[in-house]
Structure 1
Amino acid sequence: MSTIQTVGGTVDSGDLGITLMHEHIFVLTPDIQQNYPDEWGSEEDRVADAVGKLRKAYHAGVRTIVDPTVAGLGRYVPRIERVASQVPVNIVAATGIYTYVDAPNFFMYRGPALGPAVPDPMVDMFVRDITEGISGTSVKAGMLKCAIDHQGPTGGVERVMRAVAKAHLMTGTPITVHTHPGSEAGWHVKRVMCDEEGVDPSRIVLGHSGDSTDCGHLAALADAGFVLGMDRFGINLETTFEARADTLIEMVRRGYADRMVLSQDAACYIDWVEPSLMPALPQWHYTHVFEDVFPYVLERGVTQEQIDTMLVDVPRGFFEAS
């Protein structure tokens, strides 16, 4: 067994149990929240709401949630500590930067922006979050996070990816990457982070792989060694429930249950979405896979053992390889 860092302290990997590998507690826009606090409303109500939703997830069977909320997504660990202290669910916090195009302006005249031989301060920031703690707290990050979307490997995106790769090689902390499978962004991850920076692809979850129904492409990425994040169940705007579930069924049929992890990419509150629009996404919550997805796939040939592999065995093995 290995020791895993969570918001509440360390846990043995054998105690992770059913693990949702990509869920958020809060996703926020800090400049908006700081300048227009009425949007957020009551801090006590927001925390209480999150506690209630995580307790519901626990009663559904969830024992661990990986929360890849990093800079660019409104990470505020003291608030997550308050939530974690009131729920029995392990929460794994992350470090990294979330951007589709440019690195934050903070880095405009720092590090390699001043010359290719200048060390990137991003690396030190990520390593400090992992080894010392986040934002002056004792909470240590247990996951690294970066992103690449349809814009591809822009200069800012590639810089963050390389910094995350370097921090991984220094600490052994695993990586999750927001990807855009429609543009086959996983292959950019392979080139930059694996071929050029030296990260073993088995240490990377390619997030949002389930946005694609191209099982040939997904199989090729799994064969290359990556873990596939089938992690947006419930977000059925540009796709359907059936498309996501049928893709999972087909990938299991092809023998890839041991290369996939499951989630919903849900949040207790995300300020990117006007609250009045949330009823259009009635299945976007922490227990959708238990209530809707698993009954559907079990009726169509997926076994409970295979579900347990994706929910328990693959996450545990992913962290134990650190």
Structure 2
Amino acid sequence: MPTEPTVQTVTGPLPTAELGQTLMHEHVFVLNADVQQNYPEEWGSEDDRVADAVEKLTKLASVGVRTIVDPTVIGLGRYIPRIQRIAEQVDLAIVVATGCYTYDDVPFFFHYRGPALNAAVGAEVPDPMVDMFVGDIENGIAGTGVRAAFLKCAIDHQGLTPGVERVMRAVAKAHRATGAPITVHTHPTSQQGLAVKKVLDDEGVDPRRVVLGHSGDTTDVDHLSELAEAGFILGMDRFGINLETTFEARADTLVEMCRRGYAEQMVLSQDASCYIDWLAPGVMDLLPQWRYTHIHEEVLPYLRDHGVTDDQIETMLVTNPRRYFENVGTY
């Protein structure tokens, strides 16, 4: 008999049929690990931070969300033991990632390892990132037993720098070795999704296995339609971050994409966190809608009022995330 498909979560494998409503790009914490380790007074009480996260995620679960997908990787302060403490106390599945987050260069750890040595040794040197990412997926992260379920990399307005391309190719190779899907932080206003397509096409990655994160940062629906037609899943995943845009602009872009028939190629989220140390105290007050429950409390009613159907919402919140994690082992 065929086995029931599952996805790895912080508390173990979960049948994909039980993922339920899934927010596809939410962090628990986003931290600068070196700063936090050396200036712990900024972080404060570990127990208080954990308790605050449990409270916020419990509130999220109360609106009907069953799963969050957390793309916190190297460069964003991933620390799985802390997430384990939280996951044990909330009625919410947390799916974690492996990969590397950079907009330009690779971390110094990788500068003189792998392909950086090709010229010196006169041969192609494998990238250690690939084995690291594969190990997180197949064996677990840092001895915790928690296995990553997807891969994460990034490209921003700086474009396809050598460092960004190296990480992206390492992620692609780990994807092909494991079947784990990919999420890419992108900068859609400079159409960096096209650069992602070029590299991943070259690496033989099926775009249907890839979420182009932050696609909702642009209102260029023709560009988004082009990416959807290429097969990518579009992450409409920054609802509430309205510094350079508006609530209506984000929501209306989603409405138009649904009207054009692309609900089956979009996923929803807010890119929120319980705590992000990138922001000085008080900055969050400028973004009152940037919270875990914004989609359910404000976005979904707006979508329904503007013609998006309940079936389309179910597709974006339930069906598409489930398909993303089920379609494993295609290579």
- Asked whether the two chains share a fold, i.e. TM above 0.5, the reply is yes
SS state at 1:37 partner = coil
Using the alignment, how far apart are the partners of 1:309 and 1:167 within structure 2?
28
SS state at 1:22 partner = coil
SS state at 1:93 partner = strand
- Give CA-to-partner distance per residue, 1:162-221, whole Å, 9 cap, x none: 00000000000000000000111001111101x210100000000000000000000000
SS state at 1:220 partner = helix
Q: 1:37 aligns with which of 36, 40, 47?
A: 40
Q: 1:290 aligns with which of 281, 296, 316?
A: 296
Q: Aligned-pair distance for 1:97?
A: 0.2
The two structures, once aligned, show a CA RMSD in angstroms of 0.7
1:293 maps to a residue whose letter is V
1:101 maps to a residue whose letter is D
Q: 2:133 aligns with which of 123, 126, 132?
A: 126
Structure 2 gaps of 5+ residues are: none
Q: 1:90 aligns with which of 69, 88, 93?
A: 93
SS state at 2:81 partner = helix
Q: What residue number does 2:326 align with?
A: 320
SS state at 2:152 partner = strand
Q: 1:27 aligns with which of 30, 53, 78?
A: 30
Using the alignment, how far apart are the partners of 1:310 and 1:320 within structure 2?
15
Q: What residue number does 1:50 align with?
A: 53
Q: What residue number does 1:75 align with?
A: 78
SS state at 2:72 partner = coil
Q: What residue number does 2:220 align with?
A: 214
Find out whether 1:304 has 2:307 as its counterpart. Answer: no
Using the alignment, how far apart are the partners of 1:62 and 1:299 within structure 2?
21
Q: What residue number does 2:64 align with?
A: 61
Find out whether 1:165 has 2:172 as its counterpart. Answer: yes
Q: What residue number does 1:113 align with?
A: 116
Q: Aligned-pair distance for 1:284?
A: 0.6
Q: What residue number does 1:5 align with?
A: 8
Find out whether 1:223 has 2:236 as its counterpart. Answer: no
- Give CA-to-partner distance per residue, 1:112-154, whole Å, 9 cap, x none: 0000610000000000000111011100000100000000010
Find out whether 1:153 has 2:134 as its counterpart. Answer: no
Q: Aligned-pair distance for 1:304?
A: 1.2
Using the alignment, how far apart are the partners of 2:205 and 2:89 within structure 1?
36
Using the alignment, how far apart are the partners of 1:53 and 1:173 within structure 2?
28
Using the alignment, how far apart are the partners of 2:204 and 2:281 within structure 1?
42
Q: What residue number does 1:254 align with?
A: 260
Q: What residue number does 1:187 align with?
A: 194
Q: Aligned-pair distance for 1:96?
A: 0.2
SS state at 1:205 partner = strand
TM, length-normalised to structure 1: 0.99
Runs of 4+ in 1 over 2 A off after TM superposition: none
Q: Aligned-pair distance for 1:252?
A: 0.3
Using the alignment, how far apart are the partners of 1:205 and 1:58 within structure 2?
23
Using the alignment, how far apart are the partners of 1:146 and 1:192 within structure 2?
12
Q: What residue number does 1:243 align with?
A: 249
SS state at 1:19 partner = strand
SS state at 2:98 partner = strand
Q: Aligned-pair distance for 1:297?
A: 1.1
1:39 maps to a residue whose letter is E
Q: What residue number does 2:105 align with?
A: 102
SS state at 1:38 partner = coil
1:303 maps to a residue whose letter is T
Structure 1 gaps of 5+ residues are: none
1:168 maps to a residue whose letter is H
Q: Aligned-pair distance for 1:275?
A: 2.2
1:76 maps to a residue whose letter is Y
TM, length-normalised to structure 2: 0.96
- Length, aligned pairs only: 321
